[in-house]
Chains A and B, each alone.
Chain A
Amino acid sequence: MKDRIITTIYILFFMLIVSSCKKWVDVDGPETSVGFKEAFSTDATAIGVITSLYADMGNQVLGQPAHLTSLSCIAGLSADELRYFNASGNSLLNAYYTNSLNAQIVGDPGYWGAIYAEMYVVNTAIEELNAATLLTPKVKQQLTGEAKFLRAFYYFYLTNLYGDVPLIIGTDYTVNARISKKPKADIYKQVLLDLTEAQNLLSEYYLQGDGITVYPAEAQERVRPNKWVATALLARVYLYLNNWTEAEAQASKIIDGQSQFHLESLDKVFLKSSKEAIWQVLPTKGYLNTTDADLFVLMSTGPSGNNPVYLNERLVESFEDNDERLSSWVGSVSANGKTYYYPNKYKIIRSSEPSPPITEYSTVMRLAEQFIIRAEARVQLGNQSGAVSDIDEIRKRAGLPLLESISSGLQKKDLLAAILKERRMELFTEWGHRWLDLKRLNLIDQVMSTATPEKNQGSTWKSYQQYYPLSIAELQKNTNLIQVPGY
């Protein structure tokens, strides 16, 4: 017995000395993760990487200025759409609201960090897809299209929120850590390039989760970008670039060329089966439909820490009489002797069921915007009647008298004002449209110089506040970055 023990020790010791050390410290990767290269060698994981970016859009907390989704709330606060409930005690939201952001308070990651984090995934995906040999070619093509579309989508918002921004299309962190800003025009160049490529690469159909199969018409879900999504964004980008011809052309591709899109009645616009939707994202969190409804819909007790925002009275007052959007898309509660209005485009509030039935999808782009884009482009191109007919599609749906009947004497300027107003009434609290439109049309100083003091006594509008600042930390970490002028 003892001899055996001793022999064992001998053997153990001998083994240890003889066996190569290297073997003993080799480990396989963790069971819980997968490497980048491996991820892009099978269709399912490659799709999983890109899809996580869409899931992010459906999941973000709307009350936190980080992921783009929350622009519906935050940019609404910065502009004149929403009011902030003071007792909620969030100094950061308060600063967005009172247009008094500064480099100290803005914090990280903010939109800046959140978007560049997604940009890294997109850029890595484009690199890996380019090198991938094992993917199904159709999937590879679709995913490359989606990634390029997303890059354009992100840069569109980045440049509209921050002005000049670094153009990052590679993944080398040593380069990206020392990068400096590029003018807005260069960013738009890249956006156009990516979108045109995406338009060519992406499928014409709404695809299922395998990246190949087309949805049957009756069960269609418009939750992956396709050719029309890229086209819709392209129309918007041309509008922002004042390229009226192209804006009109791209919008027309969707409005006229595609019978699958049509305006829905007001109560159906934001449903998952909406035919007005061009691109929606699917909520994947428990207990919720959209985070929009979760944040905006007020309880009977009025605004609170959980629901700290409500609609600005000025917006509510701007609805014309009989505008059905007011009754359909705006809700109200009376609490503490005051009436609070809230955005009610999405209606399904938090459930106590972890996976309640999901009937509303968060809508990123929809047909109504394309009508408005085309209307504006047409006015600029001198096609007034075309513009009026586009706007009237929207007014008709809202139950309003058509412009056609009253437009005969309208000047171009008046028509543009009418279009802008329609934009405001149609697209309020959706993806920061109002905040971006005011800047695009150079109306921001005029509008905000009255809106800001109204929001908070003592606050004043400073033009540089139209762009959000970079945090001190970010500037310190990359000394080649310069702060947004004014801050």
Chain B
Amino acid sequence: MYRFYTKSGMPYRHVHKIWLIMRLTTVILIATLMQVSAAGLAQKINLSKSNVPLKAVLKEIRTQSGYDFVYAEDIFDVAKPVNIQVKDAELQDVLKEIFKAQPLTFTISKTTVTIQPKEPTFLERLANRWASIDASGRVVDSENRPLPGASVKVKKTGKAVSTDKDGRFFLRGVEEGAVLVVSFIGYLTKEIKAAKELGDVVLELSTSKLDEVQVIAYGTTTQRLSTGNVTTIKTDVIEKQPVNNPLLALQGRVPGLFIEQATGFAGTGVKVRIQGQNSLNNGSDPLYVIDGVPYNSQLLPGGNPILGGSGAVSSGIPLYGNPLNFINPSDIESIDILKDADATAIYGSRAANGAILITTKKGKSGDTRVNVNLQSGWGSVPRKLDLMNSQQYLEMRREAMKNDNITEPTPGNFGDNDLNGNWDNSRYTDWQEELIGKTAVYQDINASISGGTGQTTYLLGTGYHKETNVFPGDYADQKASVHFNLNNTSLNQRFKVQLSASYMYDHNQLPYKDLTQTALTLAPVAPEIYQPDGSLNWEPDKFGNTTFFNPVGFTFDKFLTKTNNLTSNLLLSYELLPRLTLSSSFGYNNMVSNSVNKFLQQSTAPEFRQYVPRSTIFVDNNINSFSIEPQLNYHMTIGKGILEALLGATLLQNRNRGNQIGASGFSNDLVMDDIMSASTVTPASSVRSVYKYNALFGRLNYNWQNKYILNLTGRRDGSSRFGPKSRFHNFIAGGAAWVFSEEGFLKNNLSFISFGKLWASYGTTGSDQIGDYRYLSLLDPAYQVNPYQNIVLYKPSRITNPYLEWEETRKLQVGLELGFFSDKILLNSTYYRNHSSNQLSDYSLPLTTGFSNIIRNQTFKIRNSGWEVALSATAVQTQEFSWKPAFNITVPKSLLVDYPDILKSSASSTAIIGQPLSAERVYHFLGVDPETGIYQFADKSGNATSKPDPYSDKTVLVDFAPEFYGGFQNSLSCHGFQLDFLFSFVKQIARNYTFGILPAGAFREGLRNQPSSLFNRWQKPGDKATIQKYTTGFSLDQPYLDAAASDAGISDASYVRLKNVSLSWEIPKQWIKSVKLQGCNLFLQGQNLFTITNYSGLDPETKSSASLPTLRVITLGVKISL
């Protein structure tokens, strides 16, 4: 039969014996202590008692007989009252009579009577066996839905079963009245007395964060039982943020997850890194999975460059925008971020950089519910740079001319328009106000209907979102979306089907040019934008030639992208045998985007229009992927633990098709959307690629009484991205957790610790994020408008490497999780160390090879390590008021290690061994030489020089990676009011706007306004200045460039940002009863409200002053449920 072992490794039956011995000792001890003496001997006994306690009867007999009685005190617990009528009876007979009905027996020796419990006879034992019962029942949630897989355990014996698909359980041979412990992930554990028919056991949802459901690869868990590093963000957090990309709702909330928005445009690129960058320059994106179906991490080429990228390039072509922009944040139930190997290894090759699992909303059974959420608001650029005014600007320009010995400003319309009389010098325009100062309008409406009966539930949702932009002109991003989810379970509960789909149509009308940089650099004396009649002003000179290339002209060029995105998933599952379930998911994703990028003639100065034909670039992209994932799930009880086994396979195919076609020669502006109206059509590029991927995977999870948990996963992957010889690779991982708070010694002694878990995981994941067909040597056709002798031309696209292999990341993570005072304070700390080796990387080649790089596996390793700490608390929780603060911080560190052949490698110039990937060497800036007025730098021996040697004098090492980042969040609620706010913070450095981006005080790129801080310049020998003497030519160009490449060009870009504020008020129920509303919430939300930073630039997040900074958005809204 079963063997039970205790933790000390001793067989269970031995323990039982010890227990018996101990009981016997007690009996003897008590017997000795009993001061019972014999009063007399061998006398006849007379008794007449009715319903008298045994103890009293024995006392009477002792008095009459003088015999001593030896017994353990506890025998009276089971003794029955005595009825006896005897006269002059023998002691032996009397005792026989008394003990006949008692579960006790006696022995007489000399003058002592010893009383013991009766040994049961075989028959009695048999009868007792029949007395135990078979307990059965059904475990359900508060809405009477069955909870399959719940655990039912006999507290005393540890015997456990789990519920079937209907939530039913059957426990054989339980003592009636024994205590059963019923538990289920995400619910409060309940203890009940065993009975034959227990009926429905209702489990209440747990309110502890530890018991919230976490979605993991091919399953679910909770923070309490997880053996890996998983963070979950729920819909209540997402819906408080007026963002159009769900990823932006995660900023500052997840330790180990660094998210950076590229620009302030709707549809912006978003860079996502989980625990750092694991790959030198290929694929550091996490795996996105929506309802079990893999989703694209990048868009195809051809997006609008002003959106900025999401941190990836494809064959040297930057990819703009972000695919998660086409997912409605309101459709999302939860987002789970999987960080360590234990959580991600089952995704094998694709999860080296972690995984982000998105679960969409599902219906709940019950009455039909309607939710409507309306909001509208405003967005604006939150910060302006302090630039020179007209007077300062002109002074700077004149001085620069003087320093270069230029007496006359260059005449003509391409000359120095600001000084040569073409522009009115008395003008002043705040170009930041004119060009990026508008208020964007934000509108959002989401509605959903959900409901269902026991067997079928459904949810239908729809949304509309509109966001305009801060530039002059008419631009808007509009999104319409539909989401549905349908669940059905067969009557016998064995067959289940779930269908969910989300569809979004996005209509994003953007300009082609970002005016932000123009707003910062346009001369303040530049002419008016509009003429009195409202038309654009090109400020012609006396010859009629344009002197002002009006930036607003660019707003005539329109970039319209229409995207249709469908993600859908069908999940079928069937219980083949009790505890054995076969299921399969069928996923399909189709993203079609069509862009029309029109260049109208109005954007060009009038006299050049004859040379610039109207032209349109048409971009059509189609990403099409399907996946099938059959799985077998088995769970059984082994000992006091539950074993779950999973076996599955993945088939995935991804097809990308894209075309970019240029068309020009349209006869008027109205027909520019129609390619047939173009006189010339030029194919610009095309993408056709197929990616196939398959895998076999398995997982074993053993949970011993929620105390010891072991999780093992393995996967064998094949990817079409590698040469035929190295397509397959194995990945394995293991994780273990010890919930030490379940141990008795802690429960009894340190009860203020309500939860304690120590976990560790180790394993391998891989990456094949290199783009398709990289192992083939290929020639691409090159299009010619005017074909050379009518020949189709072919050009080599890259140098070949047929030996490409998988990149591998080994992840080691250890975590300690603690809960104090009934989980009122939760502390979660993790140390991670990821080693990425066999790096798939662009190995840079000298140009003599014909190419600047080749992709190949490289020997160096990248180590990403760091600490993640998250602390959350329920500081105050009363009926009226609650306050819940939460804090998280991540201290990452990335190093390039193990690079034995660095000297031979062509990467030696960029990567520095033993230093972070993001490190660079720069000059040390020594300020302006007071004698010459030229910047000085320290050479390698520390001496000042104005001509530093780029090979040897770059002595300062700077690292652009964040030093630490995190967030501090507070939730307050009081009388129906709820206030949430989040501060996010980052400590980092970046290139500043003063030196790092533009040469300060130089005009190498034409007339440019500059920050007013640059006014402190050198003018004459002896001046102590921060800026070298102004110049307009190239005479001092190199020192300007060197200053940009020095530590002066880099400065602190740390910031603390009030990322999100949400204030909501729930209208009291009695007020809305009359209008038949279930609930009504009024709310005010704000995003990026203010930023505390020393950064000299527009935005320390985008770190760019050439792109639109993240906007400050404030919205007002109402949420109604019917």
Contacts and interface: CB of A to CB of B under 8 A. Distances in A.
A124 interface: yes
B848 interface: yes
Contacts of B689: 30
Interface string B759-777: 0000000000000110011
B116 to A, nearest CB: 62
Given A25-B692, A87-B416, A355-B785, A117 B773 contact: no
A52 B772 CA distance: 25
Interface in A131-178: 166, 168, 173, 176-177
Interface in B822-877: 844-852, 854
Interface residues of B, number: 100
Given A33-B780, A473-B909, A354 B414 contact: no
A352 interface: yes
A26 B692 contact: yes
B848 A52 contact: no
A458 B1044 CA distance: 24
Given A120-B850, A120-B851, A49 B794 contact: yes
Nearest to A32: B688
Contacts of B845: 173, 177, 477
Contact of A32 (B610, B665, B781, B800): B781
A16 B545 CA distance: 71
Contact of A304 (B414, B800, B908, B1034): B414
A112 B416 CA distance: 35
Given A22-B727, A44-B792, A51-B788, A29 B414 contact: no
B791 A51 contact: yes
Contacts of A116: 847-850
Contacts of B680: 286, 353-355
A13 B582 contact: yes
B407 interface: no
Contact of B848 (A31, A177, A358): A177
Contacts of B849: 116, 120, 173, 176-177
Interface string A394-435: 000000000000000000000000000000000000000000
A91 interface: yes
A284 B785 contact: yes
A283 B786 contact: yes
Contact of B778 (A35, A47, A85, A104): A35
B847 A54 contact: no
Contacts, number: 278
B720 interface: yes
B794 A48 contact: yes
Contact of B1006 (A87, A349, A473, A474): A87
A350 B612 CA distance: 9
B391 interface: no
B1034 A51 contact: no
A447 interface: no
Contacts of B784: 55, 284-285
A64 interface: no
Contacts of B727: 22, 25
A61 interface: no
A141 B413 CA distance: 56
Contact of B851 (A35, A103, A173, A282): A173
Contacts of A33: 773, 776, 778-781, 797
Interface string A81-112: 00001110101001100100001110011001
A176 B851 CA distance: 11
A238 B793 CA distance: 33
B780 A32 contact: yes
Interface in B361-407: 405
Contacts of B1034: 91, 94-95, 98
B796 A121 contact: yes
Given A25-B719, A31-B688, A284-B786, A86 B793 contact: no
B1033 interface: yes
B958 to A, nearest CB: 19
Interface string A325-358: 0000000000111000000000001101111001
Contacts of A457: 405
B1037 interface: yes
B600 to A, nearest CB: 14
A474 B846 CA distance: 5
B612 A352 contact: yes
A176 B848 CA distance: 6
Contacts of B649: 13, 16-17
Given A25-B720, A98-B1034, A285-B786, A30 B799 contact: no
A113 B850 CA distance: 7
Contacts of B582: 9-10, 13
Contact of B785 (A2, A9, A285, A473): A285
A105 to B, nearest CB: 8
Main secondary structure of the interface of B (DSSP, over half): mixed
Interface string B570-593: 001010000000111000000000
Nearest to B678: A354
Contacts of B772: 27, 30
Nearest to B850: A120
Interface in A1-50: 2, 5-6, 9-10, 12-13, 16-17, 21-22, 24-36, 39, 44-45, 47-49
A25 B694 contact: yes
Contacts of A365: none
A259 interface: no
Contacts of B747: none
Given A35-B778, A209-B791, A224-B789, A30 B773 contact: yes
A461 B56 CA distance: 129
B1059 to A, nearest CB: 40
Contact of A355 (B776, B779, B786): B786
B543 interface: yes
B789 A51 contact: yes
A166 B848 contact: yes
B791 A474 contact: no
A428 to B, nearest CB: 25
A379 to B, nearest CB: 39
A301 interface: yes
Given A29-B776, A209-B790, A86 B1033 contact: yes
Contacts of B720: 25-27
Nearest to A13: B630
A408 to B, nearest CB: 50
Contacts of A9: 572, 574, 582-584, 630
Given A9-B582, A29-B776, A39-B779, A87 B630 contact: no
Given A286-B785, A304-B414, A30 B1033 contact: no
A351 to B, nearest CB: 8
A242 interface: no
B490 interface: yes
B1004 interface: yes
Given A27-B773, A55-B782, A337-B411, 14 more contacts: A5-B572, A12-B584, A24-B694, A32-B780, A35-B776, A49-B779, A55-B784, A87-B410, A87-B1006, A209-B789, A209-B791, A287-B785, A353-B613, A353-B679
Interface of B: 405, 410-416, 490, 495, 543, 545, 572, 574, 582-584, 607, 610-613, 628, 630, 632, 649, 651, 664-665, 679-680, 682, 686-694, 696, 716, 718-720, 724, 727-728, 772-773, 776-782, 784-797, 799-800, 844-852, 854, 903, 906, 908-909, 950-951, 1003-1006, 1033-1035, 1037-1038, 1041
28 contacts: A2-B490, A21-B718, A26-B724, A27-B690, A27-B773, A30-B690, A33-B776, A34-B794, A36-B778, A47-B791, A48-B794, A55-B793, A91-B1037, A120-B796, A177-B846, A177-B849, A221-B789, A282-B788, A285-B784, A304-B414, A335-B412, A336-B412, A337-B411, A352-B665, A354-B785, A458-B1035, A476-B906, A478-B848
Q: 7 shortest A-B CB distances, which residue pairs? A: A120-B850, A354-B680, A209-B789, A113-B847, A476-B909, A336-B412, A286-B785
